Amino acid sequence: MWKSLKLMVSFPICNKNVFRVHLITTGAVLYRIPLTWGQNKLPWKLLHAAMMLLSLILAVVGLCAVFDVHNAQKTANLYSLHSWIGICTAALFAMQWLLGFAGFLLPCSPVALRQLLKPVHVWLGSSILMLSVAACISGINEKLFFVLKAAVNGSQPYSSLPAEAVLANSLGALIVAFGLVVLMILSNGKWQRADPGPEDLTYTVRRRNAKSPSYALAPLGR
């Protein structure tokens, strides 16, 4: 499946640290963009769900790559704190996406269920963001301890802060700072979308017109 062990090792790190965190944070702050406030919420819901689904797919691919690396190197799986956090984050992320799809995108979901799920969805989203940041920085640190061993591969030890360590530590610090900025945006009431109207809560399937057989999602009450 993988062309080389080097690619197997590099791909999961790039995947989790860049693409996944970026997609999660961008999807999380999507509703905080003022451009979206005065518009129909459904297209933004679909974009939010698509970005989160892509992030989930990347997480699953990254996990599969990690298991392939460990199996190829005869290394035990799921023994470190980093791996525990990563697995828990992926499981919560999958549950969050499924609940969000069932509760907020399906036209048949009742309004009462959406109102009940909304605070849980928001809290769980922020928790997943923090867990993702924790998984990233713990993974970076774990990788540095494994690779920067002078007695093993002739490289400078981690304690001497070679260029690789400085770069990786800087990446971890930037990820933490990025996560904190996103949490600040999510917790700022001034940047929250106004209370939803009926068109944001419930959608139904209606005929476009009497002569056309095509259907489209339309808000109730319109």
pLDDT tens-place string over residues 118-136: 999 999 999 999 999 999 8
Residue 111 resides in a domain: yes
Percent of the chain with pLDDT strictly greater than 90? 41
Coil/strand/helix, residue 204: strand
Is 106 a residue whose pLDDT tops 80? Answer: yes
In Å, what is the CA distance from 18 to each residue of 77, 117, 133, 182? 23, 29, 11, 15
- Between residues 70 and 196, the one the model is more confident about: 70
What pLDDT, on a 0 to 100 scale, did the predictor assign at position 6? 47
Element (H, E) at 142: helix 111-147
Which of 9-23, 136-150, 170-184 shows the highest mean pLDDT?
170-184
Closest CA to 45 of 92, 93, 106: 106
Residue 68 in any domain: the answer is: yes
At which residue do the structure tokens 């490289």 appear?
A: 155
The confidence band for 98, taking pLDDT boundaries of 50, 70 and 90, is: very high
CA distance 48 to 29: 9
Residue 218 burial by CB count (10 A; 0-12/13-18/19+): exposed, middle or buried? Answer: middle
pLDDT given at position 5:
47
Range in 13-22, 59-68, 106-115 the model is least confident about:
13-22
How confident is the model over 164-187, as pLDDT tens digits? 899 999 999 999 999 999 999 999
d(CA 183, CA 96): 18
Give SS3 for 216: strand
In a domain, 196, yes or no: no
**Domain extent at residue 81:** 5-138
| 83 within 8 A of 12, measured Cβ to Cβ | no
- Position 100 scores a pLDDT of 95
Cα dihedral across residues 145, 147, 150, 155: positive or negative:
negative
CB 164 within 8 A of CB 150: no
Query: Would you say residue 16 has pLDDT above 60?
Result: no
Instruction: Judge whether 29 and 44 are in contact, CB under 8 Å.
Output: no
Any domain includes 199: no
Identity at 147, one-letter amino acid code: V
Q: How confident is the model at residue 31 (pLDDT cuts 50, 70, 90)?
A: confident
DSSP at 122: H
Total domains, the chain: 1
User: What's the CATH number where 17 sits?
Assistant: 1.20.120.1770
Would you say residue 215 has pLDDT above 50?
no
Residue 155 resides in a domain: no
Examine residue 94 and state whether it is found in any structural domain, yes or no: yes
Given a cut of 60, whether residue 197 has pLDDT beyond it is no
